[in-house]
Amino acid sequence: MARKHFGTDGIRGEVGRSPITPDFMLRLGHAVGRVLRQATNRPVVLIGKDTRISGYMIESSLEAGLASAGVDTLLTGPLPTPGVAYLTRALRLDLGIVISASHNPFQDNGVKFFSARGEKLPDEWELAVERAIDEPPRWVDAASLGRARRIDDARGRYVEFCKSTIGNDLTLRGLKLVVDAAHGAAYHVAPDVFHELGAEVSTIGCAPDGLNINQGCGATSPQALVDAVRQRGADYGVALDGDADRLQIADQDGRLYNGDELLYAMVIDRLDQGQQVAGVVGTLMTNLAVEQALRARDVELVRAKVGDRYVLEELNSRGWLLGGEGSGHLLALDKHTTGDGIVSALQVLQAVGRNGGRLADLLNGLQLFPQEMINVRVADQRDWRKNTRLVREAESVEAELAGSGRVLIRASGTEPVLRVMVEARDRDVARVQAQRLAEAATTG
């Protein structure tokens, strides 16, 4: 059965267009409830959301649908995605639901789910829900309807959890931080976490109005953070995205560190502490310089498909702990079951504190290769290997780079676009070779 509604990270789209409509969310809640009741007589579900104005509409629709199937709900209000995952596990609940479109603008919204263990659910579960959506509803009687109540201390519980993920001896006293929550779910969480650990905290992107999430701030628009760190004379800036599972960090010199660099810092810290790192999972986009630097420390890098879901699957299959993407989705599975921007920031700041220097010092010797990406619109991007000229040119470029770069060609999963990427030590080489491949993609 092909999935009709679920994508790689739940269900997402523009508000007011199917499936992000109140009638569909009512049906979705009912279908989820019916699937849950196949395993548990009286399931309890946690619902959290980010700060989009549409979250109220979706929350009430899901709540009604779940209640109609005999499922109780606990409502947290605005809470980061990883906070919902944590509370679902900590409260021994049956399911966690997050209403968010992550780094997308406020016009979009979506729904994603976490298991009782705080982990992403398998494809089989999503397919079962899709089948239930298409079936006629089976309303429970009035005495069996689900109940709903709000959890007043959800924010405080999650703040304490974040703080617990680093050593008890770590203090951020003496550090001046700027925290940018993208006007999203962490606006009332992240500043308190860093402040309670001793940092002097100032904020941007912490005044949501329902319409400004991810607007010119946060991990996907980090220039605002870079500017604020410089203007305020801060040591570091921490940028999250709308649901706070993505991270970027800026330093006082205006240097911005992406997920590849931050993942490397986490690995190096553990190695320097004498801990064993069996391997690390990146993605097809992980910078080649990181792979080579890890290899020099006898740490294997395995590449998964793009998407934190696939990184998590690969980590679990290998029993490894650390992985992530250049976009800032980072995983430390001995700290949390899912990617968490706040927890990842604490891991990096802990590494810097142990190192006794600055983040730039910890990453000394790691020089990321320039990456040139060109999106080529083609009729059928899925069968690009039938383009013999493109295949031949790609092989030729790989040979010319001779280990000092690489080629990645992949089809977009959402639009008729072929993504052509060349990575090389020299930026001009990367640009010229990427243009060469893009031309072959359109003329082959």
pLDDT tens track for 71-114:
999 999 999 999 999 999 999 999 999 999 999 999 999 999 99
In a domain, 6, yes or no: no
27 plus 95 within the same structural domain:
yes
Q: Are 104 and 214 in contact, with CB atoms under 8 Å apart?
A: yes
Structural domain that includes position 383 = 371-443
* pLDDT mean values, one per 10 residues, the chain (444 residues): 81 97 98 97 97 98 98 98 98 98 96 95 93 96 98 97 93 96 98 98 98 97 97 98 98 97 97 96 96 96 92 96 97 97 98 92 94 87 82 95 92 80 96 95 80
In a domain, 181, yes or no: yes
In a domain, 68, yes or no: yes
**Nearest CA-CA partner of 320 in 282, 288, 294:** 282
Q: Are 269 and 261 in contact, with CB atoms under 8 Å apart?
A: no
Return the H-helix or E-strand segment holding 257.
strand 256-257
Alpha-carbon distance values, 86 to 52, 93, 168, 343, 354 (Å) = 21, 10, 20, 12, 27
In a domain, 285, yes or no: yes
177 plus 306 within the same structural domain:
no
Alpha-carbon distance values, 215 to 20, 52, 100, 101, 240 (Å) = 21, 12, 15, 13, 12
CATH number, position 387? 3.30.310.50
- Per-residue pLDDT, 40: 93
The SS3 call for residue 323 is strand
In a domain, 29, yes or no: yes
- Per-residue pLDDT, 444: 62
Task: Please state whether 319 falls in left (phi above 0), alpha (psi between -120 and 50) or beta.
Answer: left
- Per-residue pLDDT, 380: 66
- Per-residue pLDDT, 365: 85
Q: Give the integer Cα–Cα distance in Å for 333 and 200.
A: 29
Question: CB-side exposure of 375: number of CA atoms within 13 Å?
Answer: 7
Catalytic residue among 54, 61, 68, 102: 102
Q: Give the integer Cα–Cα distance in Å for 174 and 164.
A: 20
Residue 210 sits at φ, ψ, to 5 deg, of 90, -20
Q: Are 98 and 81 in contact, with CB atoms under 8 Å apart?
A: yes
In a domain, 2, yes or no: no
Please count the structural domains in the chain. Answer: 4
**Nearest CA-CA partner of 287 in 370, 365, 222:** 370
335 plus 392 within the same structural domain:
no
Return the H-helix or E-strand segment holding 76.
strand 72-78
20 plus 137 within the same structural domain:
yes
Where is the domain boundary, 302, 330, 362?
A: 362
Q: Give the integer Cα–Cα distance in Å for 185 and 102.
A: 9
CATH number, position 327? 3.40.120.10
Q: Are 249 and 239 in contact, with CB atoms under 8 Å apart?
A: yes
Instruction: Name residue, tokens 């921490």.
Output: 238
277 plus 243 within the same structural domain:
no
120 plus 46 within the same structural domain:
yes
161 plus 226 within the same structural domain:
yes
Where is the domain boundary, 91, 117, 152?
A: 152
Q: Are 429 and 395 in contact, with CB atoms under 8 Å apart?
A: no
Residue 424 sits at φ, ψ, to 5 deg, of -155, 160
Q: Looking at the chain, how many residues does it have?
A: 444
In a domain, 61, yes or no: yes
290 plus 414 within the same structural domain:
no
352 plus 402 within the same structural domain:
no
| Sign of the torsion angle spanned by Cα atoms 224, 226, 230, 236 | positive
232 plus 272 within the same structural domain:
no
Q: Give the integer Cα–Cα distance in Å for 310 and 283.
A: 8
The SS3 call for residue 321 is coil
306 plus 406 within the same structural domain:
no
Instruction: Name residue, tokens 């650390």.
Output: 322
- Per-residue pLDDT, 412: 76
Q: Are 361 and 353 in contact, with CB atoms under 8 Å apart?
A: no
In a domain, 1, yes or no: no
Residue 102 is among the residues annotated as catalytic for this protein: yes
Where is the domain boundary, 362, 385, 407?
A: 362
28 plus 107 within the same structural domain:
yes
